[in-house]
């Protein structure tokens, strides 16, 4: 084992870690927005909306993430702006976040759908019998209850996204995995940089899991 390269190359890992966190953050943010809309489409009575939502979820879950990312980055005839912001190349970051969000959105949609459908039908009926509209019943009665089941699963999705985002190194986003490949190329050492990368991923996900666990216990205690 030789970690002597760390002194010279550690800035890559710091930048990579920051970029991984930024990627995961925006992916979860947009994934949740997409997920809510798709979940509502899927439980709506409109056949077309239902079909579109189901097709989307099935397609995303049935195809590899690496293919989805490649489609968005190489396949789409779209020009993403070539600007660099805080060291992040937007022409790579934007398609990366788009692809990851579209992917995560399908899983988040299922989390929301399951959370909403776990609420007793009597709740909706009671709300509607008072004259509340479907949207009001959802907003004031169903979602506040569903969110208790949804949040823990959503936290778990955050952990998954941090790990899965590593795949975007194939389109040249300078996240953690990318950092380790730079070091490998420069020092001809493969194992050590990968080990360091693994440790950083583990610290990220482990810290997040612990933090989510505490938040969840707080929430349950508040009942």
Partner 1 sequence: MIKVNGLHKKFGKLHVLNGIDIEINKGEVVVVIGPSGSGKSTFLRCLNLLEHPTDGEIIFEGVSITSKHNDINKQRQKMGMVFQQFNLFPHLSVLENITLAPRKLKKLSKEEAEKKAFDLLKRIGLEEKANNYPGQLSGGQKQRIAIVRALAMSPDVMLFDEPTSALDPEMVGEVLDVMKKLASEGMTMVVVTHEMGFAKEVGTRVIFMDEGRILEENTPEELFGNPRNARTREFLSKIL
CB of 184 to partner 1, least distance (A): 52
Query: Which residue number, 119 or 159, has a Cβ lying nearer to partner 1?
Result: 119
- Tell me the closest approach of the beta carbon of residue 42 to partner 1, in angstroms: 21
Nearest-approach distance from CB 142 to partner 1, in angstroms: 10
Shorter beta-carbon distance to partner 1: residue 94 or 141 = 141
Q: Mind spelling out the 3-state secondary structure of the chain?
A: CCCCCHHHHHHHHHHHHHHHHHHHHHHHHHHHHHHHHHHHHHHCCCHHHHHHHHHHHHHHHCCCHHHHHHHHHHHCCCCCCCCEECCEEHHHHHHHHHHHHHHHHHHHHHHHHHHHHCCCHHHHHHHHHCCCCHHHHHHHHHHHHHHHHHHHHHHHHHHHHHHHHHHHHHHCCCCHHHHHHHHHHHHCCCHHHHHHHHHHHHHHHHHHHHHHHHHHHHHHHCC
CB of 86 or CB of 135, closer to partner 1: 135
Q: Which residues bind partner 1 (CB under 8 A)?
A: 120, 122-123, 125-133, 136, 140-141, 144-145
Find the shortest distance in angstroms from Cβ 112 to partner 1.
Answer: 17
Among residues 128 and 163, whose Cβ is nearest to partner 1?
128
Closest approach of Cβ 124 to partner 1, in Å? 9
Nearer to partner 1, 64 or 144 (CB): 144
């Amino acid at each position: 084992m030789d970690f002597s390269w760390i002194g010279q190359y550690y800035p890559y890992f710091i930048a990579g870690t920051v970029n991984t966190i930024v990627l995961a953050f925006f992916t979860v943010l947009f994934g949740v927005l997409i997920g809510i809309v798709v979940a509502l489409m899927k439980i709506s009575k409109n056949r077309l909306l239902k079909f579109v939502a189901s097709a989307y979820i099935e397609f995303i879950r049935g195809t590899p993430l690496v293919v989805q990312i490649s489609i968005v980055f190489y396949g789409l005839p779209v020009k993403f702006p070539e600007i660099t912001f805080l060291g992040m190349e937007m022409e790579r970051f934007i398609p990366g976040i788009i692809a990851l969000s579209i992917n995560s959105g399908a899983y988040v949609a299922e989390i929301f759908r399951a959370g909403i459908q776990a609420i007793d039908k009597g709740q909706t009926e009671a709300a509607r019998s008072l004259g509340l509209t479907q949207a009001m019943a959802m907003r004031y009665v169903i979602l506040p209850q569903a969110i208790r089941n949804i949040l823990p699963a959503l936290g778990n999705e955050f952990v998954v996204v941090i790990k899965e985002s590593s795949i975007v190194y194939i389109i040249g986003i300078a996240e953690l995995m990318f950092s380790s490949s730079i070091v490998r190329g420069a020092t001809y050492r493969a194992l050590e940089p990968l080990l360091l990368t693994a440790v950083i991923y583990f610290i990220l996900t482990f810290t997040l899991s612990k933090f989510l666990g505490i938040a969840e216990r707080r929430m349950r205690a508040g009942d």
